[in-house]
Structure 1
Amino acid sequence: MKELTIVFTDAEWESLADLADAYGVPAAEFVRTAVRAHEAAEAARVRAAGEAYAAAHADLLRRLGE
């Protein structure tokens, strides 16, 4: 397991601590969950862009594959 140190302003830390408390989890777990959600959303966005590009250029891609 790797470790990362993140510096928060007092206001950011208070907000994070409040959110984590509301979800009943430690702040570190709340941050890990948020990072995983962001990674999943970014992967979905990139996948959708790739699929749209492939659909828009399907004929060219087919010809290049011949």
Structure 2
Amino acid sequence: MSDLLLPLDPALRQSLDDLADALGRTPEEVVLEALRGYLRQEGGRVRVVAERLARDHADLLRRLGERRGGPGT
């Protein structure tokens, strides 16, 4: 496991501490859960865009693949 140092302004830290206290969790647990959710959400968005780009440019990608596998590679 690797640690990460996050500089938080006092107001943000107080909000985090208050939320963690209300949830009966540590601030680290709250941040870790939030980060996992964010990465899951953004990963899904990136996947949707990549799939759309692959669909929209499937012919070009196919032709590029053929060129790489052809003579001279």
Pairwise TM-score range, normalised by the shorter structure? 0.7 to 0.9
Where in structure 1 are there 5+ consecutive unaligned residues? Answer: none
Distance 1:54 1:7 in 2: 39
- With the length of structure 1 as denominator, give the TM-score of the two structures: 0.80
For residues 36 and 55 of structure 2, what CA distance do their matches in structure 1 show? 28
Aligned to 1:10: 10
Q: For the residues of structure 1 that align with 2:8 and 2:35, how far apart are their CA atoms?
A: 16
Query: Offset of 1:15 from its aligned partner?
Result: 0.6
Aligned residues: 66
The alignment yields a C-alpha RMSD, in angstroms, of: 1.5
**TM-score w.r.t. structure 2 length?**
0.74
- Map 1:1-66; keep pairs closer than 5 Å: 1-66=1-66
Q: State the distance in 2 between where 1:7 and 1:62 align.
A: 46
* Cα distance in structure 1, aligned partners of 2:31 and 2:61: 40
Once residues 58 and 4 of structure 2 are traced to their aligned partners in structure 1, the CA distance between those partners, rounded to angstroms, is: 43
Return the offset for 1:62.
2.8
